[in-house]
Amino acid sequence: CCGLLAALSLHITFSLSLSLSLSLSLSLSLSLSLSLAFCSQDIRNTVGNIPMEWYKDYPHIGYDLDGKKIFKPIRNKDELDEFLDKMENPDYWRTIHDKMTGTDVCLSDEQVDLVHRLQQGKFGDVNFNEYEPAIDFFSNEVMIHPVTNRPADKRSFIPSLIEKEKVGKLVHAIKMGWIKPRRPKETAPQYYDLWAKEDPNAILGRHKMHIPAPKMRLPGHEESYNPPPEYLLTDEERQVWEQQDPDERKLSFLPQKYLSLRAVPAFSRFIQERFERCLDLYLCPRQRKMRVNVNPEDLIPKLPRPRDLQPFPTLQSLVYHGHSSLIRSISISPSGQWLVSGSDDCTVRFWEVCTTRCLKTMEVGGPVKSVAWNPAPSISLVAVSYGENVILVNPGLGDRLICSATDQLISSYEEPEEVKDQQVQWAVPEGKAQEQGQRLILTHPKAVKQVSWHGRGDYLACVMPDDGSSLQVVIHQVSRRRTQNPFHRNKGAVQCVSFHPSRPYFLVATQRYVRVYNLIKQELTKKLMANCKWISSMAVHPGGDNVICGSYDCRLAWFDLDLSTKPYKVLRHHKKALRGVAYHKHYPLFASGSDDGTVIVCHGMVYNDLLQNPLIVPVKVLKGHIITHDLGVLDVAFHPTQPWVFSSGADGTVRLFT
Amino acid sequence: MGGLQKKKYESGSATNYISRNKARKKLSLSLADFRRLCILKGIYPHEPKHKKKVNKGSTAQRTFYLLKDIRFLMHEPIVGKFREYKIFVRKLRKAYGKAEWGTAEKLRGNKPGYKLDHIIKERYPTFIDALRDVDDALSMCFLFSTFPRTGKCHVQTIELCRRLSVEWMNYIITLRSLRKVFLSIKGIYYQAEVLGQIITWLVPYQFAHDHPTDVDYRVMATFTELYTTLLGFINFRLYQTLNLVYPPKLDGKGEEESRAESEEDYAMDSERYMEVLLHLFCHSRFSHPCFGSLQEKLFEGLKFFLNREVPRESLAFVLRCFGAQVSWDKSLCIGSTYDVTDETITHHVVDRPSLEKQYINRYYVQPQWVYDCVNARMLLPVEDYFVGVTLPPHLSPFVEEKEGDYVPPEKLKLLALQKGERPEQEEEEEEEDNDDSEEEEDEDQSDDEDELKGMEEKCRVCRPIVLFQASSVKVTPGEAKPVNRQRAEQEAKAEEKRLAVMMMKKRDKYLYDKIMFGKKRSVREANKMSAKRKALDEASKANKKKKLKK
């Protein structure tokens, strides 16, 4: 019995080693032990598991159990024999070469079967059942016999320390609030009547301050899927739309027309627009903007109607043609019958006002800058400035007595005994010039821009603008042929000067200021701030308390000398630079001429009551002059008695508006 | 004298504002949480009057909040919840990192959440306040309810949005408070009047969205969270005013029960509930006939059948709001009540070029007819809306033209129809009217020019007298010029005005110029539109004539 058991165990070990070696040396290379089992003769090689090529050069191949050499079998088979064997021998496929003994072994059927089984991953023994029913020894059923006879451990009787530690930790964590019990499920309804009790006290100051977000703009016709055709963009508009920055576009989408509702696709920017709205809601600063809802009519000041303020010039009635270049200056004779104009074509022309007839043309040696008729009615004298000269002309028009009296007045001059050195040369023209009417020629050191008479007609002020020079204004006394330089020092370039009509004041306008000097006291009385960049012209109200200044920056400033040194009113009527301003002698009118080709006549009523401010109402815009070389009206002058205004322009005409 | 020198930026506006970053630090919140808090609490930035002062002399771009607002945020319980949530996320991450699944499970079971009830109550102390702000909430809910149930946001949110929007629509149907509808290229605008508040919302067309990449869905989700809460409470209140149970129950069953009952019949239980709710609710016992005024009974007694290609939900909603009976194909959706073959159907809404089988005793109209009728508050003639007919333009009912604005001729026609005039006569009159008005406008524009011309003419009249003409002195009989006294008066007035305008103060002049500029621009735009229309009309007329000749 014992021997049988041993044999069985041997068999088992053998089959196990077989399976092991096979699994190692992959299928076909069979090990020595395999070949051993089937050989009748025990020629076991004892060299062990060594590379057999070590015996390549020896005649033997190893040693058997007795220590004798195992000789290599004589191999006389060449390739051809091998091939023939392969073709002819039916057992060739099951013949393998045993490297250990160098012999060819033919496998039996059982052996082939075993190889196949091993290749398939089955057990080598056919009869071995790998799925025997399992017997659960350690089941819940108490058996009569114990499975093991081992006595129970001590630890199974005493409480576990590790468990105690773990439980203690958990208890501690619960105590400390580190582990929270599972939260009970919410049972209250999700929605309920939130505003059941509307508490007026709940409305806090916050809510009063809160600015609700403006609602989304409601869509217009252009957003319709089928808008009226005029709301669709034309190709050009579409191009413009596409080129515009998305922020600048008036419409955030392209209006489109679909023939039926079926054809309307999804709006691709829908989510974006909603998102942008969200961004607006929480990112946009909100501000309450008070929108002024003003009726524009209410903004217009209530002024007396112009027709209630008549008379004033309303129509262009006469045009004086003759000059070939722009007319810089005009002046009316004190009688109102004659008009003198000086032009850039180097002529001075004398016109009869009513007939527009040019009575006299006088050529001078340069473009005429300024003409001024002597305001004294008993003297017929015109001052004409061109270049550095000022000539006094007796036009010989009108009352002959006056003309001859004037001539006499000038010729009656007697040379004083002691001749002073004057900056201005006084000369008496001769020959042709004398015949033309020129009576005196005053040669100045610099070009004269403006001449201005004193109201009495004896004094004549001349302006020679030159920034900062001490000699900019000179005052001539005609009767004594004397020249004075009233100012030792001039601040800035003098633009124009004017005598005060009633008081011994002298007004000098520089670029920004008008200075009023008292000639008797020889002091500065007032300095008027014109609030403009560059004064172009100035006129004094015949009452003497008001001054208007025109400036190149389109403003007309009205000064009330009693009120302030700042303008009482600044008018911005004109669109371009003002060139000339004038007051009417009797009527409450003043006019301004500008480069925009218009003359604006305003009603400027000055009241005797000092408490009442002057009333200024524009009454008429007179158009007529043609703008040439960007110049329109260059000078304006009022008729001394009638409510008529003359204007001279760059188009070479003088126009009379009545 | 003496005293301490006053330091800069320690009083006044500099202390009233706080920059966003500082506010965030003060609340010790992350930017995302701060944003969420601002959205929920309705806190918005403020633009200080003197930015540089507030910015402590720096000109860097900063967002400023009122310090008061931030202080107000500081004792908001939700801030604590945010922190709790942050801690929860950290713990959970840690548990996952250590592979402590039990801990993670436990943590998840105790996930902290928050409720927005108190915020709603605080932001809207009265119900009317809440109703006033419901526009955006509705638009958002309707948008979210169309989202696909994948990614982007939680399915629960989408379902909730859908439920709330359906409930809202039910309320509108029951109360018949829909006022205006507008089919725009963006979607469908609805306007309803609820408790005296005008509420407008926009519903996108039923298409899949291609989700944009430049949109932060977290912001949208936060808004939706707020809006769903708000809308839920509003719906509750509205249903309560109608003595209805909220959430509504079908045949005495709630959502859960009905879901459990019919699991086999319908694919998505929640959807089924919505559908049934929407389509059966209205003509059940809940409808209140007492609410309808004449205008609200617009489609009363009419029976509509919707073809399968028309937007069913929108049309059913609108039609039911005005008292019509609606049905559709059984296979299309739940809730159809009668078949196509029903002889009593009065209108069949079709949106295809032609229909094979037509019944004699019903009108086949395109869907625009329904919407136009609602906007016009009357049944428009169906002839313009028959199948295959080119539709008349669909006008926005929200535009209220002021004087001087451009009014499209279709609108004028509609107004005439509403007054009860016959359309043909009106057309001619209109054209005349248009011409007249245009002429008048032209006159206005050319007033100045005319005056100038007039003056020039006068000059020309004067000149022959004045000019020195030695030769050919002639006396010709003069012609009496007709003097248009009215015209002259007008001109005088215009000139008077112009002169008065010259005397305006600088400040007033600026304002006046601005107003006049705006007026002129609107006039110009209106003129442009009418000219465009005229040209288009003429072109179309010419085309028609050509066709006739052929």
pLDDT digits (tens, 9 = 90+) for A438-461: 888 888 888 888 898 888 888 888
Contact A262 B309 (CB under 8 A): yes
Q: Is A630 left (phi over 0), alpha (psi -120 to 50) or beta?
A: left
Searching chain B, which residue's CA lies closest to the CA of residue A199? B125
* DSSP-assigned beta bridge partners for residue A360: A350
pLDDT at A15 over 50: no
pLDDT given for residue B137 in this prediction: 95
Q: How far apart are CA B96 and CA B107, in angstroms?
A: 11
- A572 interfaces chain B, CB cutoff of 8 Å: yes
* DSSP codes, A397-442: -S-HHHHHHHHHHHHT----SSPPP-SSEEE---THHHHHTEEEEE
pLDDT given for residue A623 in this prediction: 87
pLDDT at B449 over 60: no
Q: How far apart are CA B346 and CA B301, in angstroms?
A: 9
The full length of chain A comes to 658
pLDDT at B212 over 60: yes
Searching chain A, which residue's CA lies closest to the CA of residue B410? A228
Q: How far is B460 from chain A (nearest CA, A)?
A: 10
Q: Are A226 and A262 in contact (CB under 8 A)?
A: no
User: What is the identity of the amino acid at B432?
Assistant: E
pLDDT at B325 over 70: yes
* DSSP-assigned beta bridge partners for residue A510: A494
- pLDDT band, residue B431 (cuts 50/70/90): very low
Residues of B with CB below 8 A from A191's CB?
Answer: 232-233, 235-236, 246-247
pLDDT at A115 over 90: yes
Contact B511 A292 (CB under 8 A): yes
Q: How far is A264 from chain B (nearest CA, A)?
A: 7
Contact A282 B38 (CB under 8 A): yes
pLDDT given for residue A171 in this prediction: 94
Mutate to test the interface with B, among A180, A252, A299 (most CBs of B within 10 A): A299
Contact B394 A219 (CB under 8 A): no
Q: How far is B8 from chain A (nearest CA, A)?
A: 25
Phi, psi of B461 (to 5 degrees): -65, -40
Residues 584-603 of chain A with CB under 8 A from chain B are 600
pLDDT at A596 over 60: yes
Q: Are A255 and A231 in contact (CB under 8 A)?
A: yes
DSSP designation for A315: S
Contact A265 B207 (CB under 8 A): yes
Contact B496 A221 (CB under 8 A): no
Searching chain A, which residue's CA lies closest to the CA of residue B309? A262
SS3 A525: strand
* DSSP-assigned beta bridge partners for residue A440: A392
A469 vs B466: which has the higher pLDDT: A469
Mutate to test the interface with A, among B62, B189, B354, B499 (most CBs of A within 10 A): B499
Q: How far apart are CA A115 and CA A100, in angstroms?
A: 20
Q: How far apart are CA B194 and CA B196, in angstroms?
A: 5
The beta strands (E) that lie in A99-196 are given as 103-106
pLDDT at B462 over 50: no
Residues of A with CB below 8 A from B398's CB?
Answer: 218-220
Contact A229 B117 (CB under 8 A): no
Mutate to test the interface with B, among A203, A208, A225 (most CBs of B within 10 A): A225
Contact A219 B72 (CB under 8 A): no
Contact B110 A180 (CB under 8 A): yes
Mean pLDDT value of segment B364-385 = 90
Q: How far is B497 from chain A (nearest CA, A)?
A: 8
**Average pLDDT over all residues of chain A:** 84
Searching chain B, which residue's CA lies closest to the CA of residue A183? B110
pLDDT in tens, A351-396: 888 888 888 888 888 889 899 888 888 888 888 998 888 888 888 7
SS3 B445: helix
Contact A230 B532 (CB under 8 A): yes
A283 vs B275: which has the higher pLDDT: A283
Q: Which of B43, B409, B500 sits opposite A303 (nearest CB)?
A: B500
Phi, psi of B366 (to 5 degrees): -85, 155
Strand A546-551's sheet: what is its strand order? A535-540, A546-551, A556-560, A569-571
Residues of A with CB below 8 A from B511's CB?
Answer: 292, 294, 299
Residues of A with CB below 8 A from B467's CB?
Answer: 319, 321, 356
pLDDT at B153 over 70: yes
pLDDT given for residue B26 in this prediction: 93
pLDDT at A27 over 70: no
Q: How far apart are CA B458 and CA A532, in angstroms?
A: 37
pLDDT at B232 over 90: yes
- pLDDT band, residue B433 (cuts 50/70/90): very low
pLDDT in tens, B464-483: 444 444 556 788 888 888 87
Q: Are B396 and B417 in contact (CB under 8 A)?
A: no
User: What is the identity of the amino acid at A118?
Assistant: L
Q: Helices B134-144 and B155-175 meet at what angle, rounded to 10? A: 120
User: What is the identity of the amino acid at B240?
Assistant: Q
Q: How far is B136 from chain A (nearest CA, A)?
A: 8
- pLDDT band, residue B270 (cuts 50/70/90): low
pLDDT at B459 over 50: no
From A384, A376, A375, select the one nearest A350 (Cα to Cα).
Answer: A384
pLDDT in tens, B70-87: 999 998 999 999 999 999
A24 vs A232: which has the higher pLDDT: A232
A612 vs B516: which has the higher pLDDT: B516
Contact B215 A271 (CB under 8 A): yes
Q: Which of A261, A270, A319 sits opposite B183 (nearest CB)?
A: A261
- pLDDT band, residue A31 (cuts 50/70/90): very low
In terms of average pLDDT, the best of A495-504, B89-98, B211-220, B404-413 is B89-98
Q: Are A111 and A38 in contact (CB under 8 A)?
A: yes
pLDDT at B285 over 50: no
pLDDT in tens, A166-184: 999 999 999 998 888 888 8
Number of A:B CB contacts under 8 A?
288
CA A282 to chain centroid: 25
**Average pLDDT over all residues of chain B:** 82
Q: How far apart are CA A40 and CA A459, in angstroms?
A: 168
pLDDT given for residue A161 in this prediction: 93
* Percent of chain A residues topping a pLDDT of 90: 14
Whole-Å CA distances, B442 to A122, A286, B407, B535? 108, 42, 18, 18
Mean pLDDT value of segment B364-391 = 90
Neighbours of A397 (CB within 10 A): 21
Mean pLDDT value of segment A418-436 = 77
Mean pLDDT value of segment A228-249 = 90
Q: Which of the residue ranges A426-440, A555-569, B166-180 would you say has the lowest mean pLDDT?
A: A426-440
pLDDT given for residue B278 in this prediction: 61
pLDDT given for residue B10 in this prediction: 84
- A270 interfaces chain B, CB cutoff of 8 Å: yes
pLDDT given for residue B139 in this prediction: 95
pLDDT given for residue A1 in this prediction: 40
Structure tokens, A346: 């180097």
Mutate to test the interface with B, among A169, A191, A574 (most CBs of B within 10 A): A191
Q: How far apart are CA B496 and CA A603, in angstroms?
A: 13
